[in-house]
């Protein structure tokens, strides 16, 4: 896939965090799409088909676990790798994430310089 910029969709209800992640990943050459809610994230995922989804757990209406469940049930999105992206560091949350189909778990707060590295590793694994 040389020459094609990889698309990362960030689903999070915190607009400041969306902007920070957008700035970090855009500076590293990614195309970043942002969704402020789980519902919007599902809709955008279906039409955009990003290379990776970073998904917050704590969101109003439908939480990240429910979004992940729906993404894995939809034909258009079931093969898109999803990394949970959360302040929740409880082992049971991490375990549930993987059981529901997440490929990784990124804890917030995160180190800015490590985020791009982590995203690249996840994408490299998913392409292997």
Domains of the chain: 7-120 (3.40.50.2300)
Q: Report the distance separating Cα 59 and Cα 84, nearest Å.
A: 12
Give the up-direction half-sphere exposure of residue 124: CA atoms within 13 A in the CB hemisphere. Answer: 6
Q: Report the distance separating Cα 61 and Cα 53, nearest Å.
A: 19
> What DSSP state is assigned to residue 6?
P
- Please report, in tens digits, the pLDDT of each residue of the chain (128 residues total): 455 789 999 999 999 999 999 999 999 999 999 999 999 999 999 999 999 999 999 999 999 999 999 999 999 999 999 999 888 778 898 999 999 999 999 988 888 888 999 999 999 988 76
């Amino acid at each position: 896939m040389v020459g094609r910029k990889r698309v990362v969709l960030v689903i999070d209800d915190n607009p400041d965090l969306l902007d920070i992640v957008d700035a970090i990943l855009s500076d590293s050459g990614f195309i970043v799409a942002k969704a402020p809610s789980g519902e919007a994230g599902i809709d955008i995922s279906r039409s955009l088909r990003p290379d990776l989804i970073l998904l917050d757990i704590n969101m109003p209406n439908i939480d990240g676990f429910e979004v992940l469940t729906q993404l894995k049930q939809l034909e258009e999105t079931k093969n898109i790798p999803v990394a949970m992206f959360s302040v929740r560091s409880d082992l049971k949350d991490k375990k549930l994430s993987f059981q529901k189909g997440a490929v990784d778990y990124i804890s917030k707060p995160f180190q800015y310089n490590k985020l791009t590295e982590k995203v690249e590793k996840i994408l490299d694994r998913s392409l292997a």
